[in-house]
Chains A and B, each alone.
Chain A
Amino acid sequence: MTYPEELRYTKEHEWVLAEGDVGTVGITWHAQKELGDIVYVDLPKPGTRVEQGKSLGSVESVKAVSDIYSPVSGEVIETNETLSQSPEKLNEDPHGAAWLVKIRMSAPDEMKGLLAAAAYQTYVGAET
């Protein structure tokens, strides 16, 4: 697996793509692979304030439920509605169509503390 260069990553296996002050957040390919078949995604309502490192929702697979930790602080402005009907998309395209939420970032500098693609790749090790 090659992790996209334009994303920034957390050690809790979330990614964020910054465009202006809006960050699009998802979980990584590694995360979905470890979880297995994803059956449900619990996301916050737009308007919810989230903090870096705090839970913003959860992902449920056939074997476990995992918290999603917000990689950045700010306000949720949009959630990916398609995931409520088709959570399996998280297994198919975790870095693209299956993004989770868009956050209006209150502290864009937080991005600097996140991992670049190569560092995340090293962190999760070699994968196939």
Chain B
Amino acid sequence: MLDACGLESAEALFRHLPGEVRIKRPLALDPGISEYDIVDYFRARAAENATGYASFLGAGVYAHYRPVMVDTVVLRGEFLTSYTPYQAEISQGTLTTIFEFQTMICQLTGMDVANASMYDGSTAVPEAAMMAVRVTGRDRVLVARTVHPEYREVLRTYALHQGMPVDDFEYQSDSGSLDLEDLDRKLDDHTAAVIVQTPNFFGVVENIRSVAEIAHRRGALLIVIFTEAVALGLLAPPADADIVAGELQSFAISPSYGGPYAGVIATKEKFIRQMPGRLVGETRDSRGNRAFCLTLATREQHIRREKATSNICTNQALIALMATVFMSVYGKQGLRELAEQNLAKAHYLSGKLKPRFTGPFFNEFAAVTNGRSPNDINQALLKKKIVGGLPLAGWYPELENSVLLCATEMTRRERMDEVAQAFSPVREQEQVQV
């Protein structure tokens, strides 16, 4: 075979690869072993990966159960292998699932129209902000410090070359919710949008109606962000918002080291022509049957060129489909029960700790550490196969010794008790003496 390729050795096949990426020793495998033995060997190596850990991390990515139905559907070849349908209307199956996705997102958010999905929650935020700039003809946005810090970084990256000033406003140090007085002070007639998140980065549920009133009084739009979609199963839809932008990772999308996820933007019908992203509509075919089509494509880059609403020309079809199947499996009642379990578990945990804020929360909250350093607590927890909460001081220097903890339907009571114990220095000493 090497002769046919005109090569003198197998080594020559790999000569084009840079030396530093090559393994220069023989593989640590016995030569001449069977395929069965090789598979066996790698299964054993895979089993050495750390498993069986309980995680109390939330902060934008949540450990929720993925019903087996999700992969059963999304791994079907018809969905798994197809890209954005260029000849869209021939892919009625794909368009049907996207239409279902949009419909369910509207029901959850209280908006009139939702797009076919965005790359993820963080990129949906600047897209929503730029949409508000187009709608209002203003240029500045005001963003709450309780919006996920990484989302705010992404917003600033987009804003840098958009001529879109981005300013923060504060939270109340006792409740952890929006400081509406600070918002009112910083709002001006150049402000296109006020951006808030609920539940916010500290897990605190915001009063959307009151912030909407303040924003609308000055002619600004209200953009409501969500990172924990499961909360929508229990909380009132943020219907006072003008634009809702969020992350759907909680809906059966595996954490996977940070992606791929799926975001979404939903809005009121009157703003639809300024909305970015693809949109599937319902129509009738030539025989009068219900059918689906891509609609309002004139907003998009392939038609409107530099005047398009966004440079997004696609959606996260497969990942969004996971969310669609998830929403279908749980249904309205199931999602509510799931949200109630999250609420109950997080409140069980908070009852054993000292919450940092007094505001109402859903499934995550900040707890203070009684003087122990958050890192010490997390190191101790790791030994018990527990991944502790997120120390907040990295993003919020004023919140030293505060840890953001999350409990979901997956969190077991015994593990929560262990976390509570690690937070309590007295009990820890007793243990050592025993």
Contact = CB atoms under 8 A, between A and B. Distances in A.
Contacts, number: 13
Interface stretch (A17-25, A57-65, A119-127): A57-65
Nearest to B274: A42
A64 B273 contact: no
A45 B298 CA distance: 21
A3 interface: no
Contacts of A65: 298, 303-304, 307
A25 B303 CA distance: 25
Contacts of B298: 40, 60, 64-65
Interface size class of B (residues with CB under 8 A): under 10
Interface size class of A (residues with CB under 8 A): under 10
Given A60-B298, A64-B298, A65-B298, A45 B137 contact: yes
Interface string B106-118: 0000000000000
Contacts of B304: 65
A58 B307 contact: yes
Given A64-B303, A65-B303, A65-B304, A40 B273 contact: yes
A42 B299 CA distance: 12
Interface in A67-98: 67
B305 to A, nearest CB: 9
Contacts of A58: 307
Interface string B272-290: 0100000000000000000
A65 to B, nearest CB: 5
A58 B273 CA distance: 12
Interface string B290-301: 000000001000
A67 B304 CA distance: 10
Interface of A: 40, 42, 45, 58, 60, 64-65, 67
Given A40-B298, A42-B273, A65-B304, 10 more contacts: A40-B273, A45-B137, A58-B307, A60-B298, A64-B298, A64-B303, A65-B298, A65-B303, A65-B307, A67-B307
